[in-house]
Amino acid sequence: MGIRFPPPGGDKVTTQNPPATLFIDGAWVPASDGKTRTISCPADGSFVAEVSEGTREDAERAIAAARRAFDGGAWASVPAPQRGDFLLRVAAELRARKDEFARAETMDTGKRLVESEIDMDDIADCFEYFGKLAGQNAGRIVDADNPGVVSRISYEPVGVCALISPWNYPLLQAAWKIAPAIGAGCSFVLKPSELTPSTAILMMDVLERLGLPQGVANLVLGPGAVVGAPLSESPDVDMVSFTGGLETGRIIAASAAGTVKKVALELGGKNPNIIFADADFDAALDNALNGAFVHSGQVCSAGARLLVEEPIAERFVDELVRRAGQIRLGGPFDPESETGPLISAAHRDKVTAYVRKGVEEGARVRCGGAWGEGDLEQGFYYTPTVLDRVTRGSSVLVDEAFGPVVTVETFNGEDEAVELGNDTHYGLAGAVWSQDAGKGQRVAARLRHGTIWINDFHPYLPQAEWGGYGQSGVGRELGPTGFSEYQEAKHIYHNIDPAVTGWFDARIEEESA
């Protein structure tokens, strides 16, 4: 692959100039114009890697390779249980190379090493889940209500898939697409975020070493407008599966419409974390901090809207502010650090402007709202921020900050909790905290979000569907539904006793009379 990532404590090593980090038609190649991009760690600006910066032509070559591979049938015709076995081998390889992968993910994103290690476990679990699922569904026989007919449904790979992923959980979000695509027999072109390509490169290395046929897996790197756009436009792509922001999702859906391809969208969220007065106070508080500030809030399902029931609101928020102010920011390898930097200077500017606008619209900053100081000035740190007295309809309540910013609202009773919890154009996730199980279930049932946690925040399971209502997306990842997104259902109706229907015989009879 022409590149190696820094060994623990060591300098980077590139072995090829220009680096050949695009993987197209089974070969590692440089960008067609030789351009490269330097990846730096957002925690301190340190050098991570020099990677190829692909062109539109590279993307088109990758699509053509994926098309040839799919149409040639080298992978699609492999029996499904064998495709499943391949995914299990990928999982084993990922577990064996966990340290290398976690380190590369952490260098690209600046997230704590322990978080990247958890992500790598989740990724291996995902490959295992789809590995076991892949061989299980051989289709079904349909009762055609006619003894002369054999009718069956077979599930076929959807074809060539464009897989476009974001920077916050780079390999995890890509794995949710790669694993079912391979399991279903598709071929694909992966386009990770231009900011965090390292683990995607390592992933292709694994697939190549394990012998996935040439052209089934392809990787292009570079900005979305250059190498991403052809993926949704091309008539040779059958499906585009995208995870990222709402605005980009709209662009992709619009450009995919021209060729009426299948579109799956995993977009942002503005997720309510609802704390009833009868909640376990300490657990709810601890999880409110996790929900809002893990990975500095750069999580699609972050609990960015805290809704607290009036009787406990003042005490809960005071304690939240006190604890948020104590969160230790720091580098990903610092054992004292509790959360890390934002991904880029541009993203920190966006979060800064977002808080500033919220304040202009009436919100009060209870803590945070500042850039990291001292050693932290080397990276893109933003302090954990709690905003209250937020005006209803204000942009900080409506738009996704994607940073360590939580707003506080108060309510009384289930109806108001549900009304506020559903007051968003998004619908990705939410949580309900109450020691009354009935209340938890009732409120969960009325919230229009794809995942509801009761007395917890953030867990997701490979066997459980993930995705959004409203403008949080279209379709689902994970679970059986996340697998079937990569399949077409074909109905084969076999009349084993063909007969003349006589439908058009009337005129013939008239003419011969």
Ligand X SMILES: C[N+](C)(C)CC=O
Ligand Y SMILES: NC(=O)c1ccc[n+]([C@@H]2O[C@H](COP(=O)([O-])OP(=O)(O)OC[C@H]3O[C@@H](n4cnc5c(N)ncnc54)[C@H](O)[C@@H]3O)[C@@H](O)[C@H]2O)c1
The single-letter DSSP state of residue 466 is B
DSSP reduced 3-state for 236: coil
Distance of alpha carbon 244 from alpha carbon 167, whole angstroms:
9
Q: Which does 229 bind (CB under 5 to 8 A by kind): ligand Y, ligand X, none?
A: ligand Y
Site stretch for ligand Y (CB under 6 A), options 109-117, 146-154, 162-170, 478-486: 162-170
Interface pick for ligand Y out of 164, 221, 237, 478 (rule CB under 6 A): 164
CA Rg value for the chain = 25
Torsional class of 16: left (φ above 0), alpha (ψ -120 to 50), beta (otherwise): beta
Q: How many residues bind ligand X (CB under 6 A)?
A: 7
Distance of alpha carbon 326 from alpha carbon 480, whole angstroms:
42
Interface pick for ligand X out of 22, 51, 172, 363 (rule CB under 6 A): 172
Binding mask 300-339 for ligand X (x = CB under 6 A): xx--------------------------------------
Q: Is 266 a catalytic residue?
A: yes
Active-site choice (105, 115, 128, 266): 266
DSSP reduced 3-state for 465: coil
| Residue nearer to ligand Y on the CB measure, 417 or 428 | 428
The answer to whether residues 5 and 48 touch, using CB atoms and an 8 Å cutoff, is yes
Site stretch for ligand X (CB under 6 A), options 75-83, 183-191, 286-294, 298-306: 298-306
**H/E stretch holding 367:** strand 364-367
Four-residue CA torsion sign, 474, 477, 482, 487? positive
Q: Does 471 bind ligand Y (CB under 6 A)?
A: no
Interface pick for ligand Y out of 91, 107, 174, 300 (rule CB under 6 A): 300
| Residue nearer to ligand X on the CB measure, 172 or 432 | 172
Interface pick for ligand X out of 134, 189, 201, 299 (rule CB under 6 A): 299
Q: Does 55 bind ligand Y (CB under 6 A)?
A: no
Distance of alpha carbon 459 from alpha carbon 37, whole angstroms:
34
Nearest to 44 by CA among 309, 377, 455: 377
Interface pick for ligand Y out of 109, 173, 218, 385 (rule CB under 6 A): 173
The residue at minimum Cβ distance from ligand X is: 300
- Beta carbons within 10 angstroms of residue 493's beta carbon: 11
Q: Does 268 bind ligand Y (CB under 6 A)?
A: yes
Interface pick for ligand Y out of 78, 229, 277, 464 (rule CB under 6 A): 229
Q: Does 168 bind ligand Y (CB under 6 A)?
A: yes
Distances (CA, A) of 266 to 193, 431, 467: 14, 19, 6
The β-bridge partners of 47 are 40
Interface pick for ligand Y out of 243, 287, 339, 471 (rule CB under 6 A): 243
The β-bridge partners of 371 are 382
Q: Does 251 bind ligand Y (CB under 6 A)?
A: yes
> Nearest 5°: CA angle at 345, between 340 and 351?
75
Residue appearing with tokens 């109905």: 491
Q: Does 252 bind ligand Y (CB under 6 A)?
A: yes
Q: Does 194 bind ligand Y (CB under 6 A)?
A: yes
Interface pick for ligand X out of 283, 460, 474, 488 (rule CB under 6 A): 460
Residue appearing with tokens 């220009």: 18
| Residue nearer to ligand X on the CB measure, 39 or 428 | 428
Q: Does 452 bind ligand X (CB under 6 A)?
A: no
Two structure tokens written together for 110 = 């600046």
> Smallest distance from the beta carbon of 402 to ligand X, in angstroms?
9
The residue at minimum Cβ distance from ligand Y is: 224
Helices within 135-209 (DSSP H only): 170-184, 198-209
Distance of alpha carbon 30 from alpha carbon 54, whole angstroms:
8
Which positions are annotated as active-site residues? 266
Site residues (CB under 6 A) for ligand Y? 164-169, 173, 191-194, 223-225, 228-229, 232, 243-245, 248, 251-252, 266-269, 300, 400, 402, 428, 468, 473
Site residues (CB under 6 A) for ligand X? 168-169, 172, 299-301, 460
